[in-house]
Amino acid sequence: MPAASPSARRPGPPATLGAAFRRGLVDSAPFLLVVGPFALLFGVVATEAGLDLAQTMGFSVLVIAGAAQLTALQLMSENAPVIVILASALAVNLRMAMYSASLAPWIGAAPLWQRALAAYLLVDQSYAVSLANYEAEPRWSLPQRMALFLGTVALIAPVWYACTLAGALLGRGIPPALALDFAVPITFISLIAPGLRTLAHVAAALVAVILGLALAGLPYNLGLPLAALAAMATGAEVERQGLARPIRRERVE
């Protein structure tokens, strides 16, 4: 039988800080299969867009948000206005505000420096793994939750930096046959699919997909923020109408 997902675990005795850290480490490790190629892709694209090594690494280390980085790079290569580049990158990363609100009940009471560190290291993978474990282990203390969160990025962040550097140094030396861009959709599919728990989630996802494709021809990728706003409005309206009932999932033995 496959290993149980974090959300499927039964609450157990409180873990030590080391055990909580290791759980975050283990649960996030599979994401390295897509984080590495994603970072390589960014390093290559950044180099081809004209960024030097320092700019590429500064971009990756300071922003640490792959989708927003690629969006900004594409618009920069199209000579889009700065305001459009900033607005598009912020729109892509708007989900981080929702991630923060979702994690606040669990780690919002942490000291300021810990919250600042968590804000910097908050990425899709650290959010998904942390929230699933927090919900599975509601009795954990705040230090245990923070230890788990740090464990989720202990591998992902260094691999992101290292693979960005490798992509920037190798540049066009990476064979096109590797098709590194596969990592972008797979990353988000692996994160979003388990999160489709209610009809509101499914409705928002469908609207995002349909409008994202329908508006793909708009200049400067403006279709992306428009589709995101429409999707959020749809999900909120479905919840307001009281239709956001949970989706039943059959267990696979």
191 occurs within a structural domain: no
One domain, residues 164 and 204: no
Domain boundary among 138, 173, 208: 173
144 occurs within a structural domain: yes
Q: Mind spelling out the 3-state secondary structure of 2-53? A: CCCCHHHCCCCCCCCHHHHHHHHHHHHHHHHHHHHHHHHHHHHHHHHCCCCH
Is the overall model pTM greater than 0.85, yes or no?
no
115 occurs within a structural domain: yes
238 occurs within a structural domain: yes
One domain, residues 22 and 130: yes
One domain, residues 148 and 209: no
List, for residues 77-135, the tens digit of each pLDDT value: 778 888 888 887 887 787 788 889 889 999 999 999 999 999 999 998 899 899 999 99
One domain, residues 144 and 209: no
One domain, residues 85 and 203: no
One domain, residues 106 and 224: no
- Measured between alpha carbons, how far is 240 from 203 in angstroms, rounded to an integer? 13
161 occurs within a structural domain: yes
List, for residues 35-62, the tens digit of each pLDDT value: 888 888 888 888 877 888 999 999 889 8
One domain, residues 162 and 205: no
One domain, residues 24 and 86: yes
One domain, residues 243 and 121: no
One domain, residues 53 and 163: yes
Name which residue leads in pLDDT, 219 or 7: 219
Report whether 170 contacts 18 (CB < 8 A).
Answer: no
- In our burial notation (b when 16+ CB lie closer than 10 A, e otherwise), range 1-31 reads eeeeebeeeeeeeebeeeebbbbbbebbeeb
Q: Is the pLDDT of residue 222 over 90?
A: no
Name which residue leads in pLDDT, 65 or 251: 65
One domain, residues 130 and 217: no
Task: Write out the residue range of the structural domain in which residue 151 sits.
Answer: 17-173
Closest listed residue to residue 66, CA positions, set 38, 30, 94? 38
pLDDT at 11: 55
186 occurs within a structural domain: no
134 occurs within a structural domain: yes
Helices 142-153 and 17-28, axial angle in degrees (round to 10): 30
Considering its fold, how many domains does the chain have in total? Answer: 2
Domain boundary among 173, 207, 242: 173
pLDDT at 252: 40
pLDDT band with cut points at 50, 70 and 90 for residue 253:
very low
One domain, residues 168 and 129: yes
pLDDT at 174: 63
Domain boundary among 173, 204, 219: 173
11 occurs within a structural domain: no
User: Residue with structure tokens 């267990």?
Assistant: 251
